[in-house]
Amino acid sequence: MKNVRIIFSLVIVSIWGLVGCNDDDVTPPQTGILTLDISGLEDLGSNYAYEGWIIVNGSAISAGIFNVDANGNLSQNSFELDREDLANASTYVLTIEPSPDNDPGPSDVHILAGNFSGKSASVTIEHSAAIGTDFTNSTGEFILATPTDGGSDTDELSGVWWLNPANGPGPGLNLPTLPNGWKYEGWAVVNGTPVSTGTFTSVTGADEFSGFSGTASGAPPFPGEDLLMNAPSGLIFPTDLSGGTIVISVEPSPDNSPAPFLLKPLVRMLPSDALDHTLYQMSNNAISTNPSGTVKR
């Protein structure tokens, strides 16, 4: 009986020793919480997602992936990160990434950024680590015309060109240069349907699309398009843009959607009695479409 008690005591001591060693060797995770309060973002669809990054000693560390629903609500707004990394972070950057994403680093599509001051950072598109401008100084003007229709004057209200005829012609857009990961895109809203006139990065050259224009030469070297052929499903070309809306958007590249992105700095609704070859000024819409927010650590 004495031997049994000794053995039982040794077992208890051994178990206690193991437990004690585990307690001594395991260090509780040292984590902190990053909280996002961002408005103005949109649903990116199933093939893209937003990813946050904290910049620590010049290196980008992922700070969580999230989506946004149709109402602008974030799928997740708090993220657990290494406490030391979070404390040493100088900047927060939000990017748009493919989903799934095989690249562990950030893409070129930086949409928001801000420097930490104490416990928080105000994030905007104009930060140098994002797009670098807020587009509030952008201006635009355009004419309705169809220079690729071979000289017909029956469909002049079916094309839009961002140029000023009085300047030689000259450019009709005053837009800041975009960083890698972004392009401008022109749009004509036809019977409620946005129709792309092409993407571009320069206001003094042709854009990247001419699939709706006619076969005749004569397209000016500026962004724009004649809506004469190959109409999208549900539309008929030529059309009449009177009463419609003309838009310049800022698009991620690669683009997440065939529809206009949330950034729409320039807009003009045409009158129902619009005239061809008449210069129309665009309104600056940047403040109402720019996302922004606060990040707290």
- For residue 17, the model assigns a pLDDT of 39
Give the sign of the dihedral formed by CA 26, CA 28, CA 30, CA 34.
positive
- For residue 200, the model assigns a pLDDT of 98
Domain boundaries, the chain: 31-132, 139-289
Instruction: Tell me the backbone φ, ψ of residue 122, rounded to 5 degrees.
Output: -85, 120
- For residue 191, the model assigns a pLDDT of 94
Burial grade of 258 (CB within 10 A; 0-12, 13-18, 19 or more): exposed
**Side chain identity at 60, as an amino acid letter?**
A
Low-confidence ranges of the chain (pLDDT < 70): 1-29
- For residue 152, the model assigns a pLDDT of 87
- Please report where in the chains the tokens 């989903």 appear, as a residue: 99
Q: For residue range 119-145, what is the model confidence (pLDDT) as tens digits?
A: 999 999 999 999 999 999 999 999 999
Pair 236, 164: CB distance under 8 Å: no
Q: Which residues contact 113 (CB under 8 A, 6 or more apart)?
A: 91, 92, 93, 94, 123, 124, 127, 128, 129, 130
**Model confidence, pTM:** 0.89
**Side chain identity at 172, as an amino acid letter?**
G
- For residue 242 the two structure tokens come to 């009177």
Rounded distance between C-alpha atoms, residue 148 and residue 152, angstroms: 9
- For residue 25, the model assigns a pLDDT of 55
Residue 228: CB atoms within 10 A of its CB come to 22
